[in-house]
Amino acid sequence: MSITDIFTNPLILSMFLGALFIGILISLSASLLGVTLVLKKYSMLGDGLAHIGFGSMAVAALSEKILRNKFDGTLGDYSLLISVPIVIAAAVFILRQNEHSKLNGDSAVALVSTSALALGYIIYSYATGQASDVCSSMFGSASLLTPSTADIVTTVILSAIVISVFVCCFNRIFAVTFDETFSKAIGFNADRYKTVIAVLIALTIVMGMKMLGTVMISGLIVFPALSSMRICRTFKSVVVCSAVISVICSVLGILSAFLINGLTIGPAVVVVNLVFYIALGVFGKIKKA
Amino acid sequence: MTDSNDVYIRCRGAAFSYNGKTALSNVSFELSRGDYLCVLGENGTGKSTLVKGLLGLIKPDVGTVEYIGASRSDIGYLPQTSGIPSDFPSSVYEAVLQGQLKKLGRRFFYSKEDKADAENNMRLLGIENLKNKSFGLLSGGQKQRALLARALCAANKILLLDEPVAGLDPLVTSEMYEIISKLNRERGLSVVMVSHDTKSAAKFATHILHIKNEPVFFGTSEEYMKTELYNEFLGGCGHEHH
């Protein structure tokens, strides 16, 4: 496919614009939260939660199968109703974990995520009746489709929640990220905002899971933050720069997925992010020298 | 006796445990307006536990910690060797502004007054020129000034300083002591300082609380200098550099 194809064929154009619209909203949400996660040394949280998301999708598939047999009707896509609460619960559990337990955050992520992945795969196989092909749920849809209205509406609502809550709580999120001890010492309810952060991350994961795949979404959270930290020195500039880098990478990634045969969006976006990370690293070194 | 409105904190027979073990017991003292109280003691004798207790992060098992003429939200806190990683992207200004956190109340963003107040405190501590510098790249002394400016933002009545001069070189240490004394005298802030440095404590503080898992002395610094504890220290601690 060439660029002219995208802009002359109305069907492809609508697919492209749909993917771009959703992609930008997801990458904005992910990049904002990524800064806090990376700085709090919770980079793997996104990965772990996405695996839990995979497990929850399997549960949704199973319950759909059971309900289909019973009602023999067409059910709407209600998998979000199952995914959102499960992923939120897991996010809160992991982020609040190290306050009062022997299990540290890192181990908690590894433990919970592998279990969810294993159970999810077993349930998937059972629900679909075969050692199922989970490639598309792990690396994103292999075929590019026009996003459904439901997909667009869900993404708009969830990303609006994530972005607006993040912006409004910016100072509080900084306080929790920069120095939690001090915040608690002056009587600030840091735990409440850790929960807020956990919920926002869970929503972002659920949003991004479908399009990018459960294995790839964590890259979208971590990469932009790490890239921008190579060139920016203040918290606000890191956040803004991370959002800008993330959107640029998503646009380039989605564009290349449309142009190159057989390339799916998830891996494409992650690879573009990797290229940016390396390039900005070199740029940062040169600037310093 | 001082007027009861002038008493900020009153601790009566308080005992605190940490990880299930009693770390500190039988603590009784008063902190009044304008006091400069130095908490002395070796490592592991309950100083940090006392700090947590005063901040309300742990509750006493027995006894009471009462806030009378002040409340917990009147405390500005300077943590012991801050756990902020040096590669954390934050400007000095962003770090200091965190001290205004409680003033947000139900608002989302800092007001002009909140920001101006943070800038004033930076000026007071002579770090206004570092405003846009990266916090992680500051020297030890500059970092402590920035964290003191942050504490000052939060301090309406009391400054609680946990080992503020630990790891600083002698020149910077004496500068920090001068600044703290000045804040005590000129801003009328009561100071609670946890320290190892007996000699400077006796020199600058008005009151001393010496603890060894329970208080072994509480009183004015003049009284303290007449005690065995102080003389023992002067005799035994020839390694102090001054």
Q: Give the CB-side neighbour count of residue A259, counting CA atoms within 13 A.
A: 11
Whether A231 is covered by a domain: the verdict is: yes
* pLDDT tens digits for range B147-196: 999 999 999 899 999 989 888 888 889 989 999 999 999 888 999 999 88
Q: Assign B1 a pLDDT band (cuts: 50, 70, 90).
A: very low
A100 touching B (Cβ < 8 Å): no
The CATH number assigned to the domain holding A72 equals 1.10.3470.10
Whether A107 is covered by a domain: the verdict is: yes
> Phi-psi category of B227—alpha, beta or left, where left has phi over 0 and alpha has psi -120 to 50?
beta
pLDDT at residue A164 greater than cutoff 90: yes
pTM: 0.87
B237 touching A (Cβ < 8 Å): no
Asked if the Cβ–Cβ distance from B101 to A183 is below 8 Å, we say yes
Q: Which of B55, B73, B89 sits opposite A232 (nearest CB)?
A: B89
Q: What is the CA radius of gyration of chain A?
A: 19
- What per-residue confidence (pLDDT) applies to A73? 47
Name residue, tokens 């908690």: A108
Secondary structure of residue B15 in the 3-state scheme: strand
Q: Which amino acid is at A93?
A: F
Asked if the Cβ–Cβ distance from B76 to A178 is below 8 Å, we say no
Name residue, tokens 């964590």: A218
Whether A189 is covered by a domain: the verdict is: yes
Strand B75-78 versus strand B21-32 pairing type: unpaired
Q: Give the CB-side neighbour count of residue B220, counting CA atoms within 13 A.
A: 3
* pLDDT tens digits for range A104-163: 667 777 888 888 888 888 888 887 776 556 676 777 765 556 677 778 888 999 999 999
Structure tokens that stand for B105 in this block: 């109340």
Asked if the Cβ–Cβ distance from A182 to B77 is below 8 Å, we say yes
Q: Which residues of B touch A229 (CB under 8 A)?
A: 87, 89
Higher pLDDT, B114 or A14: B114
Cβ burial of B33 (10 Å; 0-12, 13-18, 19+) is middle
Please say whether the beta carbons of A222 and A43 come within 8 A.
yes
Could you tell me the residue range of the domain that residue A170 belongs to?
3-284
Backbone angles phi, psi at B59, to 5 degrees: -100, 145
Asked if the Cβ–Cβ distance from A171 to B57 is below 8 Å, we say no
* Percentage of residues of chain B with pLDDT beyond 70: 93
pLDDT at residue B2 greater than cutoff 90: no
* pLDDT tens digits for range B69-88: 888 888 999 988 667 888 89
DSSP conformational letter for B133: S
| Beta-bridge partners for B24 | B16
Q: What value, to the nearest 5°, has the Cα angle with vertex B144 and ends B140 and B145?
A: 115
Taking CA atoms, B157 is separated from A9, A181, B101, B113, B239, in Å, by 70, 20, 16, 19, 35
Neighbouring C-beta atoms of residue B140, cutoff 10 Å: 14
Whether A162 is covered by a domain: the verdict is: yes
Asked if the Cβ–Cβ distance from A178 to B94 is below 8 Å, we say yes
Total domain count for chain A?
1
Of B116-125, B138-147, B195-204, which range is least confident? B195-204
pLDDT at residue A75 greater than cutoff 60: no
- What per-residue confidence (pLDDT) applies to A252? 95
B168 touching A (Cβ < 8 Å): no
Whether A122 is covered by a domain: the verdict is: yes
Whether A289 is covered by a domain: the verdict is: no
CB pairs under 8 A between A and B: 80
Q: Which residues of A touch B89 (CB under 8 A)?
A: 39, 229, 232-235, 237-238
Of A72-81, A122-131, A169-178, B76-85, which range is least confident? A72-81
Q: Which residues of A touch B77 (CB under 8 A)?
A: 182, 185-186
